[in-house]
Amino acid sequence: MAEQALTGYRKWMEGVGEQGVFFARFFRNIFTGGFEWNEFVRQCYEIGYKSFMLVGLTSFIMGLVLILQLRPSMVEMGAESMLPKTLAVSFIREMGPVITAIICAGKIASSIGAELGSMKVTEQIDAMEVSGANPMQYLVVTRILATSLMVPLLALMGDVIGLFGGYLALNFTDAISFPLYFRKCISSLEFIDFLPALVKTVFFGFAIGFVGCYKGFHSDKGTESVGLAANSAVVTASLWIFVIDAFAVQLTNILFYN
């Protein structure tokens, strides 16, 4: 029993060490030249453009549902006019970034994990390595930087679309003009509502790309490992998103609200 626990602990520590080395290799490769611009742009397209519909639809529904859920309570408290403000603040600060990141973890981290895992199984990564090319530069740096750039952009678009969803929900029961709704939303927001939310989505994007690449790059040989790499990438990236979010909220409160 104790021996099993010790073996598990040792494996866990080895995993932490491997991730540290992978992290260091990633940063070293950013600055060693030969940046793969074409692959970076292709990854931005794959990650950003191809996730847009999914993120947009999810954000729209979440904005709509949030208003439908909030409305009865707000009406009861006589605070119906506060609905646009409540939605805007909660969506921009928290819901938009986290929903976008979770959707991206499911779609992108799994896809990167499976793709690189499959390349590992079919010896494509080894082939790249022994040819003298740099798989870290071509496969990892481009993907992590692309997720770090595209997840914040997707979150921004998701925020706007979520507010549209909220507008539609409000108009199920109340008639409110579009300009008035958006003026209420915008006037309730300050710069510090946007900035920390935007910054944390960069970290969400980084975590999604990093975990996907790490899991794929370190998958075992065998087809089963590809599925495991994809699955593990989603679970780990989702967990990291919540951990980063918890730290980000605390840090934002300390820096801006105390």
Partner 1 sequence: MQKPENHSHISDAANEVVVDIQHISKTFGDNEVLKDISLQVHRGENVVVLGKSGQGKSVTIQCIVGLLHPDSGSVKVFGDEVANLSDKKLKELRTKVGFLFQSGALYDSMTVRENLEFPLTRVLKMKDKQEIDNRVQEVLEGVGLIDAIDKMPSDLSGGMRKRVGLARTLIVKPEIMLYDEPTTGLDPITSREISQLILNMQKKYKTASIIITHDMECAKITGDRVVIMNEGEYIAEGTFDELESSDDELVSSFFNQTV
Q: Could you list the residues that contact partner 1 (CB under 8 A)?
A: 34, 119, 122-124, 126-134, 138
- Give the containing element (helix H, strand E) for 239: helix 223-252
Burial grade of 164 (CB within 10 A; 0-12, 13-18, 19 or more):
middle
CB of 33 to partner 1, least distance (A): 11
CB of 201 to partner 1, least distance (A): 27
Return the number of the residue (1 or 130) whose C-beta is nearest partner 1. 130
For residue 8, how many other CB atoms are within 10 A of its CB?
10
Return the number of the residue (54 or 128) whose C-beta is nearest partner 1. 128
Return the number of the residue (61 or 128) whose C-beta is nearest partner 1. 128
- Identify whether the C-beta of residue 114 lies closer than 8 Å to the C-beta of residue 226: yes
As a dihedral over the C-alpha atoms of residue 143, residue 146, residue 152, residue 153, rounded to 10 degrees, the angle is -140
Return the number of the residue (27 or 172) whose C-beta is nearest partner 1. 27
* Residues with Cβ within 8 Å of residue 219, at least 6 apart in sequence: 113, 116, 117, 120, 121, 225, 226, 228, 229
Return the number of the residue (33 or 78) whose C-beta is nearest partner 1. 33
Return the number of the residue (126 or 174) whose C-beta is nearest partner 1. 126
CB of 7 to partner 1, least distance (A): 13
CB of 244 to partner 1, least distance (A): 30
Nearest to 94 by CA among 234, 257, 242, 258: 242
- Identify whether the C-beta of residue 170 lies closer than 8 Å to the C-beta of residue 83: yes
CB of 10 to partner 1, least distance (A): 15
CB of 49 to partner 1, least distance (A): 17
* Residues with Cβ within 8 Å of residue 188, at least 6 apart in sequence: 84, 85, 88, 89
CB of 227 to partner 1, least distance (A): 18
Between CA 147 and CA 155 the distance in angstroms is 12
For residue 107, how many other CB atoms are within 10 A of its CB?
17
Return the number of the residue (124 or 188) whose C-beta is nearest partner 1. 124
